Structure 1
Amino acid sequence: MSLSPRFYDLLMKGSFFFVGGLAGSMYATHHHHDNLKILKQDLNILHPPTREFGHAEEKVEVSKDLAVRDVLKYGNPGPIADALARKAYVAAYDRRLRHSAWTAEHLTAASIARPPTTDTSGPVDRGKSKFIEDEDLPIPFRARLADYFKSGYDRGHMVPAADAKSSQEAMDETFLLSNIAPQVGDGFNRHYWAYLEDWCRRLTGNFADVYVFTVPLYLPRLGTDWEMACVIGSPPNVSVVLASKPSSPLTPDVLELSAGAFVLPNAAIPDTAPMESFVMPIEAVEHAAGIQLFSKAVKAAAKPICATTKCELIIRKFDDAQKKPNLRRAVSGLV
């Protein structure tokens, strides 16, 4: 499947998300390799392998002397990251970009299970959930439904509705526009990205606790004159996963950690694209996004997640709503 000129132009300018997938023809597969190469080059700009960027534990104390208080006497312009605590996730909302800077979830086998139906509450139903503005945010900084009208992009969930089955309220909260980012629909939001979300949920079968961070990633690009240009547009998706389980039945309090970061271009991705082709260093993601996901100790202790579990997607094709899905696997090494 070839990319439309608009999407291809945005992609060439460095627009990506952390997590994704591939679906399409040999033409799309060829451009997948080109786009992935560009993405890795962009991350190297931000995180050269041989360069030290300092230590996360170094804290810069904000001066509280009279001069500072005098300058900010009539107001502090920010920027402000709105902390959003929901039933199934937490997030930090970016008022400038009109979507969350990141979302975080804690998945367990119990948390993603559909609760039993009672006489007073019907079953949790995605069909009852509607996309709505987030009224917890100031009106001038909210994302609006009109922002996506005829935009050419899907309203892509950062925290998927399928991760929030504990109650109807929890599922409804995933449809708040603060949890939505612009995503290419065919081949990404409706396909490879959805396969990756499913893979994260299936990790709960092998790990006691799974922590998933989703980060829309805006990457700078080096211009021909060596000036840094900031990318504005639909970002790539990044999914960072940290999973833990007891190291053995005899030592339940000693945890074995596994972690991985997957950076996916916000574009149609072939179903056959191996997950491991999207693996990026967590440190590179942290530096590009301007956040610290895990401490140095956690990152040092964690094993690569693709070494401790299968980085393999299950492809679901729904050609007809009345038919059962046709399942097949996208195995690393097919491309």
Structure 2
Amino acid sequence: MSYTRGFFAGTVTTLFAVGVYQYAQSPKSIQHQYDQQVSDDVKEQIKRRILKYGVPNRGEEAKVFTNHVLSYDQSKKIPIWVAECITKEHAQGNANRKYSKFMPDSQILSLFSADNQDYLGSGWSRGHMAPAGNNKHDQRAMDDTFYLSNIVPQDMDNNSGFWNRFEMYCRHLTKRFDSVQIFSGPLVLPTETDEKGQKLVVYPVIGKNEVAVPTHLYKIILVETNGTPSAIGCFIVPNQPIENKYSLTEFQVSLEEIQRRIGVEFFPKLDGTRLQSLCSVDSCTLTRRQG
């Protein structure tokens, strides 16, 4: 009896050891075998069983407006990215921002939304990501840019100064290129270091809804000629006053850098497409700030 028990235990131990060895030697092949054995239908059944009350929604599903599309960060109460495609016609017309009002976006649950009181007395301006000036062609399109889902807490001088000049530059590009596709948004990046030399991400929040104040802002600009993408420019700008002496090229980064920082892949259908640098085909020169 003891012999049988010992033989059985030894056999199980040996088989277990062999199994562990095989798994350690070829985990990828075992994983691939699992993927091949489980059909998409079965995976869907598993997902429905475990997530029977719905897939958690981070709010990244794109929300569509008259002339811009955005993905929203429900935790920070600011957009993740805001996309536009503008031509010179979009920047011309009689739409006037005096008729537009800042207000919460009805597509965003109030639980995840900022409101105007958050910005009141905060010391931060309501900074457009899709700017009103890109939508002079249509009052509704301009009004849409005033929903708070398109707004971030922005340094007042930056908003009226460098960033405003940057937006004007984007509109200027429509005079040279057929169309200009733009992604804009906020970033929270490491700006401090602790006593151990570890980088820290530190940013304030404003109002009762604790709207996140980004440390930086970004723009990705893709220009088209004859309906074909021809050049791209990517920029990360600190959310602080920037003097006239600084040029746009000083804030130029790669597309990969912005994607890594945000965790979003932009232009996935352009993978492998060879694009020139925007600043090599255009001067990337901003107009001087007046006053």
The answer to whether the superposition gives a TM-score over 0.5 is yes
Residue 241 of structure 1: aligned partner: 221
Residue 4 of structure 1: aligned partner: none
Are residues 298 and 98 of structure 1, via their aligned partners in 2, closer, same or farther at CA, if it must alter by over 3 Å? same
Q: Deviations over 1:20-77 (max 9, x none)?
A: xxxxxxxxxxxxxxxxxxxxxxxxxxxxxxxxxxxxxxxxx99835444332223433
Are residues 294 and 224 of structure 1, via their aligned partners in 2, closer, same or farther at CA, if it must alter by over 3 Å? farther
Q: How does 1:31-50 map to 2 (within 5 A)?
A: none
User: Which protein has the bigger helix share?
Assistant: 2
**Do the aligned partners of 1:160 and 1:174 also contact (CA within 8 Å) in 2?**
yes
| Number of residue pairs aligned between Structure 1 and Structure 2 | 242
Are residues 231 and 166 of structure 1, via their aligned partners in 2, closer, same or farther at CA, if it must alter by over 3 Å? same
- Greater CA radius of gyration, 1 or 2? 2
Question: Of 65, 77, 91, which aligns to 1:98?
Answer: 77
State the 1:170 CA deviation: 0.9
SS in 1 for 2:43: coil
Residue 74 of structure 1: aligned partner: 53
**Do the aligned partners of 1:88 and 1:163 also contact (CA within 8 Å) in 2?**
no
Hey, what's the Cα distance between the residues in 2 that align with 1:202 and 1:106? 14
Select the structure with the greater relative contact order (CA < 8 A; seq sep ≥ 6). Answer: 1
Identify the range of structure 1 (283-292 vs 72-81) with the bigger mean alpha-carbon deviation. Answer: 72-81
Q: How does 1:189-200 map to 2 (within 5 A)?
A: 189-200=159-170
**Do the aligned partners of 2:244 and 2:289 also contact (CA within 8 Å) in 1?**
no
SS in 1 for 2:258: helix
Question: Of 166, 185, 188, which aligns to 1:215?
Answer: 185
Give the root-mean-square deviation of aligned CA atoms: 2.3
Letter in 1 for 2:91: I
**Do the aligned partners of 2:62 and 2:71 also contact (CA within 8 Å) in 1?**
yes
Percent identity for Structure 1 against Structure 2: 32
Are residues 204 and 232 of structure 1, via their aligned partners in 2, closer, same or farther at CA, if it must alter by over 3 Å? same
Residue 280 of structure 1: aligned partner: 253
Letter in 2 for 1:73: K
**Do the aligned partners of 2:182 and 2:219 also contact (CA within 8 Å) in 1?**
yes
Q: If the length of structure 1 is used for normalisation, what is the TM-score? A: 0.67
Letter in 2 for 1:102: W
Question: Of 272, 277, 284, which aligns to 1:311?
Answer: 284
Letter in 1 for 2:150: N
**Do the aligned partners of 2:166 and 2:286 also contact (CA within 8 Å) in 1?**
yes
Residue 175 of structure 1: aligned partner: 146
Hey, what's the Cα distance between the residues in 2 that align with 1:144 and 1:166? 27
Are residues 62 and 149 of structure 1, via their aligned partners in 2, closer, same or farther at CA, if it must alter by over 3 Å? farther
State the 1:205 CA deviation: 1.1
The question of 1:262 aligning with 2:235 is answered yes
Are residues 299 and 151 of structure 1, via their aligned partners in 2, closer, same or farther at CA, if it must alter by over 3 Å? farther
**Do the aligned partners of 2:104 and 2:113 also contact (CA within 8 Å) in 1?**
yes
Q: Deviations over 1:180-237 (max 9, x none)?
A: 0000002x10100000000000001111111011021122466554666444442111
Are residues 256 and 292 of structure 1, via their aligned partners in 2, closer, same or farther at CA, if it must alter by over 3 Å? closer
Q: Deviations over 1:270-312 (max 9, x none)?
A: 0121111000111010011010112385564110100001110
Identify the range of structure 1 (103-112 vs 193-202) with the bigger mean alpha-carbon deviation. Answer: 103-112
Q: Which runs of 5+ in 1 are unaligned?
A: 1-60, 115-122, 247-252, 320-335
